[in-house]
Amino acid sequence: MVGAGAVRSHRHNSPFRHVTTTRPGSLTAASGSARRCRSTTVTPVIAPQAAAPAAGDTRGIVMPIGGAEDKVGRMTVLREVVRLAGGTDARVVVISTASSLGDEITHAYLQIFASLGVTDVVGIRPESRAQAASPDLVEAVVEGTAVFMTGGNQIKLAAIVVGTPLGQAIAAAHGRGALIAGTSAGASIMSTHMVSFGSGGATPKFRMSQVSEGLGLLPQAIIDQHFTQRNRFGRLLALVAGNPAQLGIGVDEDTAAIIRPDGLMEVIGRGVVTVMDGSEALTTAYTATGTQPLMISDVRLHTLPRGVVFDLTGRRLVSAPGLPDVAGPPSITGPGDVPVGTRPDSRRIAVEGAHETIAELRRRPAST
């Protein structure tokens, strides 16, 4: 693997546009931003289908991020990406194809990961399916311990990456244990059935959203992002109604779902992950017409803030901060069970629930 600060240079005679492979050391500050890096022209060659992981290989973690993750403050989500990728030993590949910001977003993530201690990080940005067949880009993914896909337009990302040697390399990297993380569009593409577009709103309606083929890293789930912030409850619920075998997973901004190979999902970040289970639902999704609201009954709903662990395979809560310990039998206490000499703390008892007294409620301003 080439050292940090270098840009691969394999030039061939080719009619195709340039494919840029960028490293942090190749960025030069100019007027507060980074100058455009050199490009690498490659001849797109269709590679063979990526082989399935050998027996005994362990799949890696999949980490969908809901978009708008903190990039200037504590960077909780991005720090976790670095930790799971191997810390200072990580080799991170940033794929910025989805973004409309071009080199600007590539440079931003290269600098962010470098500031978090990653010394080996490279950015790639194929702009066509032919470029996604580049051996250089495939090699970058093969050598990485983590792939990070930026936000932007998931239809563009899927149209360029899915079913190409680059897409196959991402799936193979997941199969051998690499972390696959993505924010916004980069989160949606992890599903087999990818949310490609749709309208917002709380009410599920017929033809409210459209799905396309994703990378298939999470075959049991449909991922949606910017979930609470863009009011995408209805469209995900409509998709679950039409695909009841799939879990609907809506990820809020600056929030991530860390999904392990055994199906356990842990939530980190500022918001919540919403899980919709329609496996026992009744619905009119198959009789609705036009843009009719859908009847859906018996959908199980889970809203999961940071620290919660959820089993996607068993579709059940595993643990959550603040829940009481109910492992043992319930307690029944009588006067004889009170330790001798125990005196109640009258001040603590008086304070508990004091804000809920009638006098306190009367002093509250009336709601409008």
Looking from the CA of 184 toward its CB, the CA atoms found within 13 Å total 21
| Calpha distance 22→357 (Å, rounded) | 62
Q: Point out the catalytic residue in the list 184, 188, 191, 209.
A: 184
C-alpha angle with apex 17: 11 to 19, nearest 5 degrees?
Answer: 65
253 is catalytic: yes
139 is catalytic: no
Q: Within 10 A of 45 (CB to CB), how many other CB atoms are there? A: 12
Q: Which residues of 227-259 are buried (b: 16+ CB within 10 A; e: fewer)?
A: bbebebbbbbbbbbbbbbebbbbbbbbbbbbbb
Determine contact, residues 267/255, Cβ cutoff 8 Å: yes
Classify residue 100 as exposed, middle or buried by CB count within 10 Å of its CB (0-12, 13-18, 19+): exposed
Q: Point out the catalytic residue in the list 107, 174, 193, 226.
A: 226
Looking at the DSSP assignment, which residues form a beta bridge with residue 302? 275
| Calpha distance 33→173 (Å, rounded) | 32
Q: What are phi and psi of 247, to 5 degrees?
A: -75, 140
Enclosing H/E stretch for 362: helix 358-363
191 is catalytic: no
Looking at the DSSP assignment, which residues form a beta bridge with residue 256? 65, 268
Q: Point out the catalytic residue in the list 69, 80, 253, 266.
A: 253
C-alpha angle with apex 78: 181 to 231, nearest 5 degrees?
Answer: 70
3-state secondary structure of 317: strand
Task: Please list the active-site residues.
Answer: 184, 226, 253
